[in-house]
Structure 1
């Protein structure tokens, strides 16, 4: 299932750790604090647990992180402006990007 993950974290160090965890889970950064990942139940649960533990260490009152489940077909029909990315690459439907 495709997930849109976005966060607002004040600490540079914590924000970098969140980004690292998301990248290791196979998520792709589409904006500075927005990632997309094709996550399955086990990997989703593990990732959410790791992120929750990280955010609970020295919690900041305004920090937040959201997971939004997005249907694959809706994600494939995403309207984009500015720098574009191919959502098929994120969802594993395409393996190669030809420039």
Structure 2
């Protein structure tokens, strides 16, 4: 299922680790704190558990938005769409 994953994490090292886990699961960065991936139910559960362990006792949140293929295909954008590459992301 198409899934959008967004996060709001202020700690730089944790934010970087979360992004790397999402990339390891085949997700694609679509904005600096947003990823898209095609995740079956089992994979999504494993990813969620891994991220929950990482977030335990830390400030921030991670949200999953599963979408059916038809709903995802109806997405609209304003402005230029580009794939965010890891070298485009600065960690301060």
Fold match (TM-score > 0.5): yes
Residue deviations 1:34-93 (CA, integer Å, cap 9, x gap): 00110001211110010000001x412xx011001111111112101223259xxxxxxx
**Which residue number corresponds to residue 73 of structure 1?**
70
Q: How does 1:44-55 map to 2 (within 5 A)?
A: 44-55=44-55
CA displacement at 1:4 relative to structure 2: 0.8
2:91 is the alignment partner of 1:83: no
Separation of aligned partners in 2, 1:82 and 1:48: 31
Aligned length: 83
Query: Which stretches of structure 1, 4 residues or more, deviate above 4 A after TM superposition?
Result: none
Q: Unaligned stretches of 5+ in structure 1?
A: 87-99
Q: Unaligned stretches of 5+ in structure 2?
A: 84-92
CA displacement at 1:25 relative to structure 2: 0.4
Separation of aligned partners in 2, 1:34 and 1:83: 16
Give the number of the structure whose alpha-carbon radius of gyration is greater.
1
Task: Provide TM-score, normalisation by structure 2.
Answer: 0.83
Separation of aligned partners in 2, 1:83 and 1:16: 25
Compute the RMSD of aligned alpha carbons: 1.5
* Partner-residue secondary structure (3-state), 2:19: helix
